[in-house]
Chains A and B, each alone.
Chain A
Amino acid sequence: MSLRRFRALLVKESRQILRDPSTFLIAFVLPLILLFLFGYAVSLDIREVRIGVAQQDDSQEAASLAVAYRNSPWFDVTMAPEPRGLEPDLVAGRIRGIVVIPQDFGQRLIAADRTAEIQIITDGAQPNSAAFVANFAEGVRATWAAQRAAEAGVTAAPPITLVPRFWYNAELTSRDFLIPGSIAIVMAMIGTLLTALVVAREWERGTMEAMMATPVAMAELLASKVLPYFVLGLGSVALCTTLAITVFDVPFRGSILALMALSSAYLVPALGQGLLISAATKNQFVASQMALILSFLPSMVLSGFLFEIPSMPPVIQAFTYIVPARYLVPSLQTVFVVGDIWPMFWRGIAALLLFGLVFFVLAIRVTRRRIA
């Protein structure tokens, strides 16, 4: 390892980064787009779901229940006298469910047994929304019934009262989880995609061949690729964090040190994977495809960033263990929303470094000083 050659390669690489608009695009513009996308456009919270209420009964009780639905923050209600009038909207997906208050609702409520039924029709094609509509429609009814009973002076309180409290994210805003998670995605882009592209480009343009014919050691060549992109990756993390806190009001309860330690640990396997992909493909197009499929998509889908791992089928859960981002996303979310929990971080960092070691060993073995 010659310090002089290494320095020369670093200077060259840094110049190329500064001059190449596409590097800038991937390292700074793309993270911004992702951040804004997850910050504003994508939300896993459900509010104001559009439903229809078919009020077949014109009794006072029925009207009161209908008002309860209309006043609920969860629903945006379209009223109709008959379910038939709402069915086309449900079929077309304009509403997610129909609450039918039947003709005899008021009568049965006043009658001796005091049991009255309502019907809830949901769109099973979207199971999550359907379950949500069913549960919350039932909830609104129960609250309404309890209130009515209280007004009538009867305490018909349910045997157990549930008062939920959500820790750390009291309002359950998904943004507070999504934005820290998207920082992991951004690092996957820079670490793997960008590195894979720039090394593959050297093979494509024939400069790798020229480099290999000089006294340069392969280790120097690889290291000169890794270091600048490591710095670039951390820079991008810093940018994203600043935006997350200032623009998106995401809480930051942990320490900068923990954030940087986690990010650095994650960049090791990301860069290693990028080097491995480019050395194996030597072609920018194939390298970018591989980086997207092997790094970007799993980080997105299998890391617990968008979908909770415990609710995945067991086979898919098993797959998540070989996705490095899986060991980063929970820790990142913790740093932002909870604070420093070092025992958790150390486990994540250890797993990430282990992945990094595997990727780098493979990359060095594949990158031989030969053309073919």
Chain B
Amino acid sequence: MTDPAATAELDAVTRRFGKGGTPALDNVTLQIRPGRMSGLVGPDGAGKTTLIRLLAGLLDPDAGAVTVFGHRATATDRARIGYMPQRFGLYEDLTVIENLRLYAELRGLPDSARAGRFAELLRFTDLTRFQGRFAGKLSGGMKQKLGLACALVETPDLLLLDEPGVGVDPVSRRELWAMVQQLTGEGIAVLWSTAYLDEAEKCDEVFLLNEGRLIHAGPPAELTREVTGRTFRLLAEGRGRRRLLTRMMDRDDIRDATIQGASLRLLTAAGAAPPDDTQAVPPRFEDAFVDRLGGGPKGTSALAESYRTIPDTGVAAIEAKGLTKRFGDFTAARDIGFTIPRGEIFGLLGPNGAGKSTTFKMLCGLLTPTEGQGHVAGHDLRHARAAARQSLGYMAQKFSLYGDLSVRQNLNFFAGAYGLTGAARRARIAQLTEVFHLGPYLRQNAGGLPLGFRQRLSLACAVMHEPPVLFLDEPTSGVDPIVRREFWSHINGLVQKGVTVLVTTHFMEEAEYCDRILVIYRAEQIALGTPDELKADAAAHTGRADPTLEDAFIALIEAHDAEAEAAA
């Protein structure tokens, strides 16, 4: 098959920020071709945004050439590029239709074509009803669609989308994907950047970036093919599967092992014999990515080994009874109730604004419930808030340590905040430094650490006082699969020591690690079960064989919407 001429290309492009730093992009060469959905895939900090900005002519390369439509990207015809930056580039104090009009004028859409094009775009994005609404008052998913509509107002030849899926729930993400895919049929070249590997799998062509280097360029299947016949499922019901996972990760003939609900997913080393009692499963893009990066980490967690064993007191680690939070006449969470026994990983799953953060904050003692009760490690959140907080470790979404303090200063601060002093503090910090290999970075500012080390530092600060309960808020969104595996191997180890974990996420890979999941939607809990139960439920509802957790999640939400409509 002969490839059509490239719409845009990078030729040996390098770009650094700041002197002497590691390059954000390192000698990258690639071509983007018309009529294809090209995925720009990689973890946070891999160089995706830099690459897209280079193509949009917003950055100069330090070396190499960026060519769009045959001209230098900074001097090319911008009217033919549709660009949607990460924050959509919308004016929040203008209405939907005013934003569209502005972009139409700037891109030079002829007046005669305007009415028709607007109607088409509004229908396409399902925003017709919201024309008069201010962009700032739209939901995340709607903003994203409006951002896309603005980028498409004059049909571009090259469409650049910088992480359109970030911070948007799976339902909106799927809708957007379908819209953009339709456009490639019209011959547009699309570059879609994402940290989600499952999105990469659906692209026609994938550019896989890691730490500024291009690891793979080509159809995703080409990469996936490298691990054909090396992926297996091992059924491992019950609590024993965590110990089994650790053993599997430590084996030399296993490149990678992850938990998928009640089973383990294994990737064997090339040429190794299939492990016992397993069944072969089709390979995924992520398997190949991990294989390219040199395989997953080893499974034994030094953190867990040194952790105290949490005694079994017979009291539930976390308990919520009829938790309700109202802000004025808006109910953010209604009658949420569950019990989490010691040593369980419990997930809160739901779209943005569904109420999972509100529930989470009530249980951390950051919000006072309007009604209902919560207990953490036996402490009542109303009457013994300080004691409850002392018994939990909290790790916030994204990096929430002090970026301007050094690693050592951060550790010292959190040790002090949790009441560790003198010899006990020094011993604990020395231990954590050793466990997380932070030694070489102690004097460096936390903000400038590589992503993987920031992740480690966050966890180190959260477990400083060896709490019996850990609260994790989307702990690994955006990190690369190796860092995520390492993180979860620590969590797995801690759980075996009796630590209880509550995690919020809308990231399906994270949800798979949970023992049980509570799905929250429109302030109410709509389902509670193990990942496999939720999937089985979805299979029964939709008739789809072997649904993913994301399918199950979407099916649950759709079923709930249908019920609500029937009731109305």
Contacts and interface: CB of A to CB of B under 8 A. Distances in A.
Interface string B84-113: 111111111110001001110111100000
A372 B93 contact: no
B108 A4 contact: yes
A4 B98 CA distance: 15
A372 B59 contact: yes
Interface string A199-240: 000000111011111111000000000000000000000000
A7 B101 CA distance: 12
A16 B78 CA distance: 25
A215 B79 contact: yes
Contacts of A211: 89, 106
A5 B105 CA distance: 6
B98 A12 contact: yes
A370 B60 contact: yes
The A interface, classified by DSSP as helix, strand, loop or mixed, is helix
B46 interface: no
Nearest to B53: A371
B257 interface: no
A75 to B, nearest CB: 57
B83 interface: yes
Using C-beta atoms within 8 Å of the partner chain, give the interface range for chain B: 20 to 34
A33 interface: no
B87 A206 contact: yes
A5 B102 CA distance: 8
A215 B85 CA distance: 16
Contacts of B106: 5, 8-9, 211, 214-216
Nearest to B74: A369
Using C-beta atoms within 8 Å of the partner chain, give the interface range for chain A: 20 to 34
B87 A205 contact: yes
Interface string A10-38: 01100110011000000000000000000
B406 to A, nearest CB: 24
A207 B90 contact: yes
Nearest to B106: A214
Contact of B89 (A12, A206, A370, A371): A206
B270 interface: no
A2 B85 CA distance: 24
A206 B85 contact: yes
A144 to B, nearest CB: 69
B108 A12 contact: no
B157 to A, nearest CB: 14
Interface of B: 17, 53, 56-60, 74, 77-79, 81, 83-94, 98, 101-103, 105-108, 150
Interface of A: 2, 4-5, 7-9, 11-12, 15-16, 19-20, 205-207, 209-216, 369-372
20 contacts: A2-B108, A11-B102, A12-B91, A12-B94, A16-B91, A20-B93, A206-B86, A207-B89, A210-B88, A210-B89, A211-B106, A213-B81, A213-B83, A214-B106, A215-B108, A216-B106, A369-B58, A369-B74, A370-B60, A371-B58
